[in-house]
């Protein structure tokens, strides 16, 4: 049972509304003796932060992370790590005009149907602001994985499709991806995407995106055969991100179009080491990691707010439309994947030693 909790051994519970005093999370089950500081978390927070580029949310938030428990003399103690992030930009607005409206594509209507009450200020709990807490939890997961697995471990996401325009995914360079405002792996596409997105924005519209995540250094054997399958948990984690509507593992939906020969990742025993000749499976077979790179991707729908005239102008008259919510999903996806992988690492340690 877990309305607002994610994970099995490494678990986090998030809380907070878009326009409440603060948001935060409690991370439980974290292994002890892992070096961790607010700075380690802040680094990832800054990549998700609104207002980073003209293409993402213009909300002004420093997203400063404070750790309230679970760390002693710079190390985790194995007790819950409580993290708080104060909302700075939760300014008092006149919500009277929107409180009885249901924005299309938003959860306004479904929240009211479920709870018969809703905090309509900025979307309340349904706001993507909640994902800040996930990024904090993910940063902790990464620190733990770095300690447990070592430097072989690396997780890196990128936008690979922006609306109608794809990009070259052959080069997956961390430096490049984190440098451009689109988290795009292909520097040749950056200019094109910029033009494309400016045109979309100008027309008052928005576009969707596909994000791809890759994790390397993951040992074989993580996951479980039936209902704790690594791919099922990963998929659930990614589908829980706001605006995500589809998730692929490896070749994903496209396996429907492949023949058995095309889809098969042949196995070779080269110098007593198992080698796969391809990775259509995305590093997961029967719900268990194979030791190959874990590859997942997901689609984020275009911003729903475009039609809603009340959101087009903020108090200073600036256009605050978000043209593509997918961009910010990169660090969130990385965080969720990190949490799932750590969770399964710990689970495997429990059952299989």
Task: Write out the binding residues for a second copy, residues 91-120 only, by CB under 8 A.
Answer: 102, 104-107, 109-111, 113-119
> What is the 3 state secondary structure string of 272-323?
CEEEECCCCCCCEECCEECCCCEEEEEEECCCHHHHCHHHCECCCCCECCCC
Find the shortest distance in angstroms from Cβ 327 to a second copy: 13
> In the bound complex, what is the minimum distance in angstroms from residue 171's beta carbon to a second copy?
21
Of the candidate residues 88, 195, 245, 310, the single one contacting a second copy (CB under 8 A): 245
- For residue 64, state whether it binds a second copy (rule: CB under 8 A): no
**Least CB distance from residue 54 to a second copy, whole Å?**
17
> What distance in Å separates the CA atoms of residue 244 and residue 300, rounded to the nearest whole number?
4
Q: Segment 22-41, which members bind a second copy (CB under 8 A)?
A: 22-24, 26, 28-33
Residues 254, 297 contacting (CB under 8 angstroms) = no
Q: Which of 50, 124, 138, 157 touches a second copy by CB under 8 A?
A: 124
Reading phi first (left if > 0) and then psi (alpha if -120 to 50, else beta), residue 63 is in left
In angstroms, what CA-CA distances link 16 with 50, 145, 334?
A: 17, 27, 22
Least Cβ distance, residue 175 to a second copy (angstroms): 26
Burial class (CB in 10 A: 0-12, 13-18, 19+), 29: middle
User: Is 338 a residue that touches a second copy (CB under 8 A)?
Assistant: no
Q: With contacts defined by CB under 8 A, name the span among 52-60, 123-131, 181-189, 309-317 that binds a second copy.
A: 123-131
Name the one range near a second copy by CB under 8 A: 37-45, 173-181, 185-193, 274-282: 274-282
Of residues 61, 186, 212, 233, which one binds a second copy by CB under 8 A? Answer: 233
User: Does residue 168 interact with a second copy by CB under 8 A?
Assistant: no
Nearer to a second copy, 113 or 313 (CB): 113
Q: Does 169 sit near a second copy (CB under 8 A)?
A: no
Measured CA to CA in angstroms, residue 34 lies from 31, 78, 140 at distances of 7, 9, 9
Q: How far is the CB of 27 from a second copy (least distance, A)?
A: 9
Neighbours of 300 (CB within 10 A): 27
What contacts 266, CB < 8 A, 6 or more positions away? 276, 277, 278
Residues touching a second copy: how many (CB under 8 A)?
140
Q: Does 266 bind a second copy (CB under 8 A)?
A: yes
């Amino acid at each position: 049972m877990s309305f607002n909790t994610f994970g099995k051994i490494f678990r986090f519970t998030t809380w907070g509304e878009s326009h409440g005093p603060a948001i935060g999370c409690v991370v439980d089950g974290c292994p002890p003796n892992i070096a961790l500081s607010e700075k380690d978390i802040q680094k990832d927070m800054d990549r998700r932060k609104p207002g980073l580029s003209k293409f993402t949310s213009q909300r002004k938030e420093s997203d400063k992370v404070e750790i309230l428990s679970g760390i002693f003399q710079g190390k985790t103690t194995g007790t819950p790590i409580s993290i708080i992030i104060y909302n700075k930009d939760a300014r008092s607005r006149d919500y009277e005009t929107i409180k009885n409206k249901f924005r299309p594509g938003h959860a306004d209507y479904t929240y009211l149907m479920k709870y018969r009450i809703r905090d309509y200020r900025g979307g309340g709990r349904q706001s993507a602001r909640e994902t800040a807490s996930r990024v904090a939890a993910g940063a902790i997961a990464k620190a733990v994985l770095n300690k447990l697995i070592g430097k072989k471990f690396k997780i890196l996401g990128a936008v690979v499709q922006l609306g109608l325009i794809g990009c070259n995914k052959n080069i997956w360079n961390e430096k490049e991806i984190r440098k451009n405002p689109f988290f795009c792996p292909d520097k040749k596409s950056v200019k094109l995407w910029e033009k494309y997105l400016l045109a979309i924005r100008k027309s008052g519209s928005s576009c969707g995106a596909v994000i791809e995540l890759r994790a390397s250094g993951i040992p074989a054997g993580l996951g479980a055969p039936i209902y704790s399958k690594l791919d099922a948990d990963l998929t659930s984690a990614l589908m829980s991100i706001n605006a995500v509507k589809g998730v692929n593992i490896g070749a994903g939906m496209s396996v429907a179009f492949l023949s058995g020969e095309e889809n098969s990742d042949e196995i070779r025993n080269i110098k007593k080491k198992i080698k796969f000749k391809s990775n259509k499976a995305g590093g997961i077979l029967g719900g268990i990691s194979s030791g190959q790179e874990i590859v997942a991707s997901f689609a984020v729908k275009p911003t729903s707010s475009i039609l809603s005239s009340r959101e087009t102008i903020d108090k200073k008259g600036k256009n605050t439309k978000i043209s593509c919510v997918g961009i910010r999903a990169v660090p969130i996806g990385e965080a969720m994947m990190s949490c799932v992988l750590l969770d399964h690492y710990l689970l495997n340690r429990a059952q299989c030693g």
